């Protein structure tokens, strides 16, 4: 009889421990599947912005399009934009090597080769998939020669 009681107690303790682990895993999964906005400097702006610079959901990170809003050529604009993308990724706990998808928007398709010269190697030896288009009728907003957005994982 004592042996039966011990077996029941052992099984009960094992079931309670398993339920606790399952509950913890479910809570962690629920927490990871929430939307999280990443702010430069860690604090939300005082006024509601038009869009967020970086948002994650689960382990996916979406980085908004970055442009270069200063005088310069395609090389300087591309370098600036890629540097800004890298800052957003790092701020959210990701990196250039964890980027899965990139969209490149050129103001002029003639800048394709110049953009590629600066772009090459910035995402490591296994670059992400990429779509590149030239924007028509008005170009890239803010007089940038290039705008780039991406999707990465954390």
- How confident is the prediction along the chain (154 residues), in pLDDT tens digits per residue? 556 656 545 565 555 655 555 554 455 556 668 999 999 877 888 898 899 999 999 999 999 999 999 999 999 999 999 999 999 999 999 999 999 999 999 999 999 999 999 999 999 999 999 999 999 888 898 889 999 999 999 9
Task: Describe the strand order of the beta sheet including 35-38 as a list of residue ranges.
Answer: 35-38, 54-57, 60-67, 146-153, 99-106, 129-134
Dig out the tokens for 82 from the structure.
């890629």
Residue spans of the domains in the chain: they are: 1-32, 35-153
pLDDT of residue 41: 78
Give the CATH fold of the 35-153 domain: 60s Ribosomal Protein L30; Chain: A; (3.30.1330)
Reported as a single tens digit per residue, the pLDDT across 102-128 is 999 999 999 999 999 999 999 999 999
């Amino acid at each position: 009889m004592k042996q039966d009681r011990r077996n029941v107690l052992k099984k009960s303790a094992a079931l309670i421990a398993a339920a606790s682990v399952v509950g913890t895993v479910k809570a962690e999964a629920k927490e990871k599947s929430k939307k999280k906005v990443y702010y430069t400097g860690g604090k939300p702006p005082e006024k509601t912005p038009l869009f967020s610079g970086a948002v994650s959901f689960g382990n996916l990170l979406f980085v908004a399009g970055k442009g270069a809003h200063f005088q310069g050529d395609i090389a300087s604009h591309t370098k600036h934009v890629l540097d800004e993308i890298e800052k957003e990724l790092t701020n959210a706990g990701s990196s250039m090597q964890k980027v899965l998808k990139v969209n490149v928007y050129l103001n002029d398709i003639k800048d394709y080769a110049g953009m590629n010269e600066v772009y090459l190697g910035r995402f490591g030896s296994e670059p992400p998939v990429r779509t590149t288009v030239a924007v028509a009728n008005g170009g890239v907003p803010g007089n940038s020669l290039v705008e780039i957005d991406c999707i990465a994982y954390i």
